[in-house]
Amino acid sequence: MASENCSPGVGRFPANPKQQAVPPGTVFSRKHYDWPVRARWIISWSLALIAPTEPAYAQSSLAGDTFHITRAAGPIVIDGDLSDEGWRNATRVEKWYEVNPGDNTEPAVKNVGYVTYDDRFFYVAFEFEEPNPAAIRAPLGDHDSLDGTGQDLAGLFLDTLNTGRTATIFLANARNVQYDAILDDATGENQSPDYFWDSATKIGERKWTLEIRIPFSSLRYKTADPQTWGILLYRNYPRGFRHQFASAHTWPPRRISARAKRRARAMASAARRS
């Protein structure tokens, strides 16, 4: 199968015309997430960005690690090809979890995220294993037209103010149809804002890739050195069930039935055999 490139897409309106440079040694963290989401389709039980002092055990939250992000070593072209010099020293995020229907289980397919930045942009890239590219569900459509339950899509949630209460969402499906929105614990998900950002995808023999470039001028964040942000990397993988993979795990683990666990294990085995 020849690789399939999808041309870069871009959002429309900047959220913040004032550009701020991010200092060297910037620190981004993905710690605890605790917040019931009223979004229509992003995460099916609850999501939060950055931990409160104590986790709320009445509901599921997401917990991950803290990682340091280094400046890109060279230029990055947004074309779906991850061979650019700038990706070579990018922070790799290789630990992912299936958080639905699995309960913090190993994903059936491999997922790798890459995060870096330069003076003007915040960059995130993804490399997703795909045993059967013909099974990819990613129809073309308008901006913000994604069906988040039944499409192959991925992206990130950014809590740039580190409040634990708001996030900006940047997603694209495997054919580069974009979705962006604001997530707020008081008002839920609002897809009205459209940000300036670029993305590109490429579907290959046994994988697909996604590159995202977000201008710092499209983001709001504090003046601090170093920066500490909440970040969640995400993949939707619809194969029989809607599998959701994330760079953070649920805590405490959700109580799911033995039948659901057996079905999740069976689906994982089938994906590995295909």
Q: Is the pLDDT of residue 32 over 70?
A: no
Give me the percent of the chain exceeding a pLDDT of 90.
46
Q: Is the pLDDT of residue 246 over 70?
A: yes
**118-130 mean pLDDT:** 97
- Residue 154: band (very low, low, confident or very high) from pLDDT cuts 50, 70, 90: very high
Distances (CA, A) of 262 to 15, 236, 254, 270: 45, 20, 15, 12
Instruction: Quote the distance between the C-alpha of residue 19 and its chain's center.
Output: 23
Cα 33 from Cα 184, distance rounded (Å): 13
Q: Is the pLDDT of residue 41 over 80?
A: no
Tell me, what's the pLDDT at 240?
87
**148-167 mean pLDDT:** 88
Q: Is the pLDDT of residue 108 over 90?
A: yes
Dump the DSSP string for 149-169.
TTS-EEEEEEETT--SSEEEE
**Largest pairwise CA distance in the chain:** 52
Q: Is the pLDDT of residue 31 over 60?
A: no
Query: pLDDT, tens digit, for every residue of 44-88?
Result: 222 333 222 223 233 345 656 788 898 999 999 999 999 999 999
Is 0.95 topped by the overall pTM? no
Tell me, what's the pLDDT at 118?
96
Cα 188 from Cα 72, distance rounded (Å): 34
Check residues 49 and 125 and name the one with the higher pLDDT: 125
| Domain range annotation of the chain | 4-15+22-273
Distances (CA, A) of 66 to 32, 69, 195, 216, 233: 10, 10, 27, 21, 13
Question: Domain 4-15+22-273 belongs to what architecture?
Answer: Sandwich (2.60)
Q: Is the pLDDT of residue 260 over 60?
A: no
